[in-house]
C-alpha cells in the first residue's frame, strides 16, 4: 500500500475545489486550516480560495478561466494533465453533489488523521525491540490504520515516495531483526 502523499492530498483538494467551488461554502474552515508544504501548490490553493470568495457564485468554468490566465496557469495545466488524482471519480464536474461532499469530507479527515497516525507508527517502530506480543499486535494494527488511511491515494512526488520507502524499509528491517533479539533487550548495534 503506498504511503499517502501530502502533495497528492493537496492536489486532490485543489482540483475538487476547482471543479466544485461550492465545496468551499461547506468546508471553508477545514480548507483554511490545511498546511501545505509545497509552496507552488499552496499558492495555487490560495488563489483558488481567494477567487471563490471574491467572485461570489463563481462557476467552475469561470474559476478555471481565471486561474489559467493567472500566474498559476502552468501548474494548474500540469496537474490537470499529469496528475493521477485528476481522474478520481468524485472530482469530475458531473459527479453527484452528495457523493462529492462525502468524498471531500473523507479526504479532509484522512489529511488530519494521517500525520498523528504516522507519528505514532514511527514511535512504535523505535520501541518494537522491547515490545511484548500484545504491544506488537497493537503496533501492527496502527500500521494497518496508516496504510488504510492512504489506500485511495497514490504517492505523487518523489520526496514523499522516498520517505515512504525508507519508512517501509525500516519497518521491514525491525521485523527481520526482531526474531533474533532476546525478549526485552535491544540489540547492541543501532542504525
Summarize pLDDT for 164-184 with one digit per residue, the tens: 666 677 776 666 666 555 555
Are residues 130 and 184 in contact, defined by beta-carbon separation less than 8 angstroms? yes
Chain centre to alpha carbon of residue 96:
23
Name the CA dihedral angle for 137, 143, 149, 151, rounded to a multiple of 10 degrees. -110
Q: Is 36 left (phi over 0), alpha (psi -120 to 50) or beta?
A: beta
What predicted TM-score, i.e. pTM, was given to this entire model?
A: 0.57
Going by C-beta distance under 8 Å and a sequence separation of 6 or more, which residues neighbour residue 90? 16, 99, 100, 103, 104
What domains sit in the chain, N to C, each tagged with a CATH number? Answer: 6-178 (1.10.860)
Express each pLDDT in 84-127 by its tens digit: 666 666 677 778 888 888 888 888 887 777 767 667 767 766 66
Name 89's Cβ contacts closer than 8 Å, sequence gap at least 6: 95, 99
Which H/E stretch holds residue 176? Answer: helix 158-178
Mean pLDDT for the chain overall: 75
Amino acid at each position: 500500500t503506498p504511503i499517502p502523499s501530502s502533495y497528492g492530498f493537496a492536489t486532490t483538494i485543489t482540483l475538487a475545489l476547482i471543479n466544485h467551488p461550492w465545496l468551499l461554502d461547506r468546508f471553508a474552515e477545514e480548507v483554511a486550516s490545511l498546511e501545505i508544504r509545497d509552496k507552488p501548490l499552496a499558492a495555487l490553493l490560495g488563489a483558488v480560495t481567494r477567487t471563490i470568495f471574491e467572485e461570489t457564485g463563481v462557476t467552475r468554468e469561470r474559476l478555471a478561466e481565471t486561474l489559467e490566465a493567472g500566474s498559476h496557469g502552468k501548474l494548474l495545466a500540469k496537474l490537470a494533465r499529469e496528475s493521477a488524482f485528476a481522474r478520481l471519480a468524485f472530482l469530475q464536474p458531473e459527479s453527484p453533489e452528495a457523493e462529492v461532499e462525502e468524498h471531500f469530507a473523507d479526504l479532509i479527515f484522512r489529511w488530519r488523521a494521517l500525520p498523528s497516525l504516522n507519528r505514532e507508527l514511527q514511535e512504535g517502530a523505535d520501541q518494537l525491540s522491547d515490545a511484548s506480543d500484545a504491544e506488537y499486535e497493537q503496533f501492527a494494527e496502527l500500521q494497518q490504520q496508516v496504510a488504510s488511511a492512504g489506500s485511495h491515494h497514490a504517492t505523487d512526488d518523489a520526496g514523499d515516495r522516498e520517505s515512504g520507502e525508507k519508512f517501509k524499509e525500516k519497518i521491514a528491517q525491525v521485523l527481520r531483526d526482531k526474531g533474533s533479539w532476546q525478549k526485552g533487550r535491544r540489540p547492541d548495534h543501532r542504525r
